Amino acid sequence: MNTNGIPPVIAVLGLGPMGAAIARASAAAGHQVVAWNRTRRTAPELGLPGDVAVADTPVEAVAAAGIVIVCVRDHAASGALLAEIAPAAGDRVVLNVSSGTPEDTVASARDAAGRGIRYVTGAVMVPTPLVGTADCAVLYAGASEDRGALAPVMAALGGTSDVLGDDHAVPAALDLAMLDLYFVGIYTHLHATALAGTFGIDPGRFLPYARSAVATVGESLADLTDAVVRRRYDSGQARLDMCLAFLDRIVQTSRDAGIDPAAAALVRDASARAMARWPGGTDWDVVAEDLLGAPRT
- 258 CB-contact burial (10 Å; exposed 0-12 / middle 13-18 / buried 19+): exposed
Residue 109 CA to residue 118 CA, distance in Å, equals: 9
Nearest to 26 by CA among 131, 142, 160: 131
The pLDDT value recorded for residue 1 is: 39
* Alpha carbons within 13 A on the beta-carbon side of 95: 31
Considering the entire predicted model, what is its pTM?
0.89
Mark the ranges of the chain whose per-residue pLDDT is less than 50: 1-4, 297
The pLDDT value recorded for residue 237 is: 84
For residue 29, give every residue at least 6 positions away whose Cβ sits within 8 Å of its Cβ, in sequence order, or none. Answer: 7, 132, 152, 155, 156
**Max intra-chain CA distance, the chain:** 71
Residue 37, Cβ neighbours under 10 Å: how many?
Answer: 22
Total residues belonging to the chain:
297
Identity at 175, one-letter amino acid code = D
Contact 46, 18 (CB under 8 A): no
Contact 107, 82 (CB under 8 A): no
**Domains located in the chain, CATH noted:** 10-166 (3.40.50.720), 198-292 (1.10.1040.10)
Residue 278, Cβ neighbours under 10 Å: how many?
Answer: 17
The pLDDT value recorded for residue 294 is: 63
Q: What's the 3-state SS for the chain? A: CCCCCCCCCEEEECCCHHHHHHHHHHHHCCCCEEEECCCCCCCHHHCCCCCCEECCCHHHHHHCCCEEEECCCCHHHHHHHHHHHHHHHCCCEEEECCCCCHHHHHHHHHHHHHCCCEEEEEEECCCHHHCCCCCCEEEEEECHHHHHCCHHHHHHHCCEEEECCCCCHHHHHHHHHHHHHHHHHHHHHHHHHHHHHCCCCCHHHHHHHHHHHHHHHHHHHHHHHHHHHHCCCCCCCCEHHHHHHHHHHHHHHHHHCCCCCHHHHHHHHHHHHHHCCCCCCCEHHHHHHHHHCCCCC
Contact 267, 251 (CB under 8 A): no
The pLDDT value recorded for residue 51 is: 87
The pLDDT value recorded for residue 295 is: 60
